[in-house]
Chain A
Amino acid sequence: MRSLILLCVCLFLFVSIGIVNAQVAGIYPTTDPQPITTQISPPAAATPKVDTGDATWVLISSALVMLMTPGLAFFYGGMVGRKNILGILMQCFIILCLVSVVWVLFGYSLSFAPGKGFWGGFQWVGLKGIGFEPYADYGATIPHQLFAIFQMMFAIITPALIIGAFAERMKFSAFLLFILLWTTFVYNPICHWVWGVGGWLKDMGVLDFAGGIVVHISAGVTALMTAIFIGKRNGTTKKAILPHNLPFTVLGTGLLWFGWFGFNAGSALGMNSVAVNAFLVTNTSGAAAGLTWAIIDWVFQEKPTMLGTATGAVGGLAAITPAAGFVGVFPALVIGAVASIICYIAVTLVKPRLGYDDALDVFGVHCIGGVWGVLATGLFASKAVNPAGADGLFFGNPKLFLIQLMAAGVTLAYGFIASLIIYKFVDLTIKVRVKEKDELMGLDLTQHHENAYTILE
């Protein structure tokens, strides 16, 4: 079994090295990069120029979004038992490492190379020919390489979101293989459909500013699938598994919120009115959602809770993500408040009835929040906010709402089925779940041979 995993890793490395070798001339253009780029970019007549202000903001935004993955690690890490926190932190960090490598090798090309197929294609494998010159469709005033960096951070955090669903019970080797296949066959195609040049949902006019469909729905629905098929955590039938360190969760929420400014405002791909509006509505929606959840807790559970407020804020931030560049500040209040209400219903009422163990409520918060955000974009989008967008239902354009509804449905269906196939493949080859003995002892000791906390010196 172990040799099988090593074999997979070796194969992957060999393929990667082969690709890189084949493309090495393209990655390091010695003389003039022009002939390579002109094959794919528009005629040089309207040569786009890098704007230093725009580029600076997107570069900083990329760093902000990177910080969200360690932030998410603490957000999740605080909620699991103390014997599993290193397992969570490790999964987030290894995704940061793995997807970064995959992205520069072929992930970016599969997602964003122009093409009308299932995914982008292989033209930009190894980031061939991608340099300082802007590519008009992906931010006309920022370097193309910078766009690839910015998008890399999105590709990293998306699979990291999923891990909360199968927390405390997935084998590390199986997890690695699952994530590698998932980012390739689920994230890259969906990303291409919605954002890539030639993507069919993009051509249809779907609006997804910063990843409600690409990030939150795709990760959230995969989370639901894994939670159903991996089964409940040991012990959940007897009692709830309590969070071992809520301050970590709050720290993580803070880092996520902070990073989300880069996520949403950075998605304007420049320093302009859309970016500033996105920043404002992001904060507004997160705040409205946190406040709403606290009130709901207070009314229905006697006291406002810290975990509830943090959860609500994350739900509100997820919901505003697809809408951030298209809606004004008052719709943002509604989006945030409603996000908390429906996420609360999903997490506290629907989940216990259906009986799946989505350990850290990835589906209930990210997917439900994301679906609401995508639909709300179809309701509240306005050309007054962003002329490059479209008007929604409340501004006299019901067609956008239908497009949004269809895009959400397609992503839900594809995400569920494709990730299920990957999950079954991994389960048949190397078994997904840890042995019961290992689960009881905790993933820190059994998967990583480390302990997070000591009792004695």
Chain B
Amino acid sequence: MKLIVAIIKPDRLEAVKQELYKAEVNLITVNEVLGHGRQMGVTEIYRGVKEVGNLLRKIRLEIAVNEDFVEPTISAILRGAQTGQIGDGKIFVLDLVECIRIRTEERGGQAIG
């Protein structure tokens, strides 16, 4: 089992969702986060006070998958989120130790799907 965490541009969320549905990955959690990598944020000005390089809005996806679905999920995110511009984001793949479905108390790979 793996936990896939992806940081993407907010306006790519819809495209990524569509790609994930096509790859039959239907269970995702979405967060709004702030951040910047090598791309510096946009300057903001409030009554003449400048805030240079502020953090930008990003979307963080969390998807728990069984081994078979790792590569399809990654390629779906790539297809949806890639624009070739700086600031497209990152995908992190983490080992997932355990997963429990609260409703039925199922565990492991069964609980993920």
CB proximity to B under 8 Å, residues A410-457:
437, 440-441, 445-446, 449-451, 455-456
Per-position binary interface string of chain B over residues 16-59, scored 1 when its CB falls under 8 Å from any chain A CB and 0 otherwise? 00100000000000001110000000111110000000110100
Closest A residue to B51 using CB positions: A449
Inter-chain contact A440/B42, CB cutoff 8 Å: no
Main secondary structure of the interface of B (DSSP, over half): mixed
Per-position binary interface string of chain A over residues 215-254, scored 1 when its CB falls under 8 Å from any chain B CB and 0 otherwise? 0000000000000000000110011000000000000000
A93 to chain B, nearest CB (A): 16
Residue B106 lies at the interface, judged by CB distance under 8 Å to chain A: no
Q: Bound state CA distance, A445 and B14, in angstroms?
A: 21
Inter-chain contact B11/A235, CB cutoff 8 Å: yes
Q: Bound state CA distance, A456 and B55, in angstroms?
A: 10
B16 to chain A, nearest CB (A): 12
Inter-chain contact B9/A238, CB cutoff 8 Å: no
Residue B94 lies at the interface, judged by CB distance under 8 Å to chain A: no
Inter-chain contact A450/B44, CB cutoff 8 Å: yes
Q: Give the residues in chain A near B54, CB-CB below 8 Å.
A: 451
Inter-chain contact A449/B32, CB cutoff 8 Å: no
Q: Give the residues in chain A near B100, CB-CB below 8 Å.
A: none
A454 to chain B, nearest CB (A): 9
Inter-chain contact A455/B42, CB cutoff 8 Å: no
Given the interface contacts A455-B32, A455-B34, does A449 sit within 8 Å of B43 by beta carbon? Answer: yes
Q: Bound state CA distance, A450 and B44, in angstroms?
A: 5
Q: Bound state CA distance, A239 and B9, in angstroms?
A: 17
Inter-chain contact B11/A451, CB cutoff 8 Å: no
Q: Give the residues in chain B near A445, CB-CB below 8 Å.
A: 42, 44
Inter-chain contact B45/A450, CB cutoff 8 Å: yes
Q: Give the residues in chain B near A441, CB-CB below 8 Å.
A: 42
Q: Bound state CA distance, A450 and B46, in angstroms?
A: 7
Closest B residue to A444 using CB positions: B44
Given the interface contacts A455-B32, A455-B57, A456-B34, does A449 sit within 8 Å of B44 by beta carbon? Answer: yes
Interface size on A, residues (CB 8 A): 15
B41 to chain A, nearest CB (A): 9
Inter-chain contact A449/B15, CB cutoff 8 Å: no
Q: Give the residues in chain A near B44, CB-CB below 8 Å.
A: 445, 449-451
A339 to chain B, nearest CB (A): 34
B89 to chain A, nearest CB (A): 14
Q: Bound state CA distance, A224 and B9, in angstroms?
A: 32
Q: Give the residues in chain B near A451, CB-CB below 8 Å.
A: 44, 54
A450 to chain B, nearest CB (A): 6
Per-position binary interface string of chain A over residues 386-428, scored 1 when its CB falls under 8 Å from any chain B CB and 0 otherwise? 0000000000000000000000000000000000000000000
Q: Bound state CA distance, A75 and B25, in angstroms?
A: 38
Closest A residue to B34 using CB positions: A455
Q: Give the residues in chain A near B34, CB-CB below 8 Å.
A: 455-456
Inter-chain contact B11/A440, CB cutoff 8 Å: yes
Given the interface contacts A449-B43, A449-B44, A449-B45, does A235 sit within 8 Å of B14 by beta carbon? Answer: yes
Q: Bound state CA distance, A153 and B44, in angstroms?
A: 32
Inter-chain contact A238/B42, CB cutoff 8 Å: no
Inter-chain contact A446/B42, CB cutoff 8 Å: yes
B6 to chain A, nearest CB (A): 18
B36 to chain A, nearest CB (A): 13
Given the interface contacts A450-B45, A455-B32, does A238 sit within 8 Å of B57 by beta carbon? Answer: no
Q: Bound state CA distance, A201 and B43, in angstroms?
A: 51
Q: Bound state CA distance, A206 and B84, in angstroms?
A: 59
Closest B residue to A238 using CB positions: B14
Q: Give the residues in chain B near A235, CB-CB below 8 Å.
A: 11, 14
Q: Bound state CA distance, A450 and B51, in angstroms?
A: 10
A108 to chain B, nearest CB (A): 33
Specify which of B33, B43, B57 lies most central, judged by the most chain A CB atoms within 10 Å of its CB.
B57
Q: Which residues of A contact B (CB under 8 A)?
A: 83, 234-235, 238-239, 437, 440-441, 445-446, 449-451, 455-456
Given contacts A441-B42, A455-B32, 14 further A-B contacts (CB under 8 A): A83-B10, A235-B11, A235-B14, A238-B14, A239-B14, A437-B85, A440-B11, A445-B42, A446-B42, A449-B42, A449-B44, A451-B44, A455-B33, A456-B34
When A and B form their complex, which 10 residue pairs have the shortest distance between CB atoms, in order from nearest?
A440-B11, A449-B45, A445-B42, A449-B44, A238-B14, A455-B34, A449-B43, A450-B44, A239-B14, A451-B44
